Chain A
Amino acid sequence: QVQLVESGGGVVQPGRSLRLSCAASEFTFNIYAMHWVRQAPGKGLEWVTVISYDESTKNYADSVKGRFTISRDNSKNTLYLQMNSLRVDDTAVYYCARGDNYYGLDVWGQGTTVTVSS
């Protein structure tokens, strides 16, 4: 079935970097925009970033602009999130999600946990 599986989360000190991955399966990855959404402990959902199907367009939330970079490898059906200069308030579960202009964020991964702590 259509599936997204995130990996790469962990515990990291403030100021360090981490790269998340999201492996897609059972759908045509290279025709969909892909998003990252995060959820801090006990909090609501926060949209983080999006990349178009062909990498030509990227958008970021102000809270991560200049620190996070989204990318994708369509040959590997994989989405990435490079997170630099991590801060304590970046601590969250990070979800990747498939995006469609009409259907919205219709498929989500199970999430990977990032903890930023000294």
Chain B
Amino acid sequence: DIQMTQSPSSLSASVGDRVTITCRASQGISNYLAWFQQKPGQAPKSLIYAASTLQSGVPSKFSGSGSGTDFTLTISSLQPEDFATYYCHQYDSFPYTFGQGTKLEIK
């Protein structure tokens, strides 16, 4: 199975900050990497697919990069609605796997 390791596990930031979350795959997954945002009591929401492409309707403050084993999610100009948990996810091969999540909290 492909292990997905996210860092950090939690992150404290202020409104207006720019933050970066990293995700490492235990083996190469090309660009079959997605990022999800999840708020308490809600289903995950797809933000980015193919490592760097925004899903329809997702604001351009979110950006993704990487290929192979190392990926990043960057969120610029944090707003209150951005504080949530973020997950990376590989869909290169079964079983699909997720990172353990990064909880983004308000400082």
Contact = CB atoms under 8 A, between A and B. Distances in A.
Interface of A: 35, 37, 44-47, 50, 59-62, 95, 99, 101-111
A65 B5 CA distance: 24
B49 A47 contact: no
Interface of B: 32, 34, 36, 38, 42-46, 49-50, 55, 87, 89, 91, 94-101
B93 to A, nearest CB: 10
Contacts, number: 60
A95 B43 contact: yes
A104 B49 contact: yes
Contact of A45 (B44, B49, B50): B44
Contacts of B96: 35, 47, 50, 105
Contacts of A105: 34, 46, 89, 91, 96
In the A-B complex, the 6 residue pairs with the smallest Cβ-Cβ separation, listed nearest first, are A47-B96, A104-B34, A59-B94, A45-B98, A108-B43, A104-B49
Nearest to A106: B46
Contacts of B97: 47
A67 B5 CA distance: 28
A37 to B, nearest CB: 8
Contacts of A106: 46, 49, 55
